[in-house]
Chain A
């Protein structure tokens, strides 16, 4: 699996950004081609409707184009695009009356999830499961999680972003990323066992 996390935009990205700004349509098309796969994957965590997914990704790139001049050259283009995509997806869900499930973070703190016990027994995917089958189950479980937990898990586990980049995208501190990830993983585990009790003794 490729390592996507990067602190600064690679030279090729910067060149495409500059040329797009100078009015080169083909350069912008190449830039979209570079990142469209990851943006589609990201959007598909918020809706499975193909035309809605396409609308979200299209809006993401159109917004990116409009604000391309404000892209800071020392940051990662992917991080910048991912932030736009996540905000676009959440706006989209709100506009269509499907407000993403919100989590009451403080309640969970009160309930006392103990951070000193990070990993209770986790269900494991069966060895016989195909890659796409595992992905489908995970998708289904994530869809049941409050949006803030889903997003942080997607960015960490699928996009393999470092905590700092997740913090940048979501506009939160690294400490919040850590605690949110911790709670998200506990929720994911519980929901997985709830939906698929057959995996309980997988390990």
Chain B
């Protein structure tokens, strides 16, 4: 390996980006070439300035809990708004899968309700249609006789009694 081949690889080597197949010939060159070894040494020295500051990694007390709470509060608020919008207006054509499921469910519910009403009406119709066919003893004729009928009945009774009484009375008078 020549210096011209070696030098462009030095930073990648120091950064651990070279495969062993690439690194081995470079290492050999660095051992043999003072100039290139010096360059690599300068690179290592520069890297010594980059030390992580532990103080920089400190987060304020309770930070994570606060952020999590805020994140979920925002999510709940967004959900509530979404639901309100769903109630107020028809959902737009392009909706999320969750909304799509909700709409299908509402449709099935509505269909079930309509079917239930239809069955109820049908059962009533069948009941009324069936009544006359049962027997001569019709349940719906157990109603109280009308005033006219009572009157007529009484008149008939009176007439019959009168008819029975007349011959007797007539005979007595004749005697």
Contact = CB atoms under 8 A, between A and B. Distances in A.
Given A62-B67, A119-B42, A134-B49, A181 B11 contact: yes
Given A32-B64, A41-B57, A178-B12, A119 B40 contact: yes
Contacts of A102: none
B110 interface: no
A98 interface: no
Interface residues of A, number: 57
Interface stretch (B70-78, B101-109, B112-120, B165-173): B70-78
Interface string B40-67: 1111011111111111111110011111
A40 B58 contact: yes
Interface stretch (A22-30, A78-86, A88-96, A104-112): A22-30
Interface residues of B, number: 42
A28 B68 contact: yes
A138 interface: yes
Contact of A131 (B16, B51, B74): B51
Given A54-B63, A61-B71, A122 B56 contact: no
A119 B49 contact: no
B47 A157 contact: yes
Nearest to B5: A116
A162 B19 CA distance: 13
A99 to B, nearest CB: 23
Contact of A1 (B11, B40, B52): B52
A115 interface: yes
Contacts of B55: 132, 135
A203 B45 contact: yes
A68 B86 CA distance: 24
15 contacts: A25-B71, A29-B65, A32-B63, A41-B52, A41-B56, A62-B74, A116-B4, A117-B39, A118-B8, A118-B11, A119-B39, A125-B49, A138-B49, A178-B11, A181-B11
Interface of A: 1, 23, 25-26, 28-30, 32-33, 36-38, 40-41, 44, 54, 57-58, 61-62, 65-66, 115-125, 131-132, 134-139, 141, 153, 156-158, 162-163, 178, 181-182, 185, 188-189, 192, 202-203
Return the 6 tightest CB-CB contacts between A and B, nearest first.
A157-B50, A119-B42, A135-B53, A37-B57, A29-B68, A32-B64
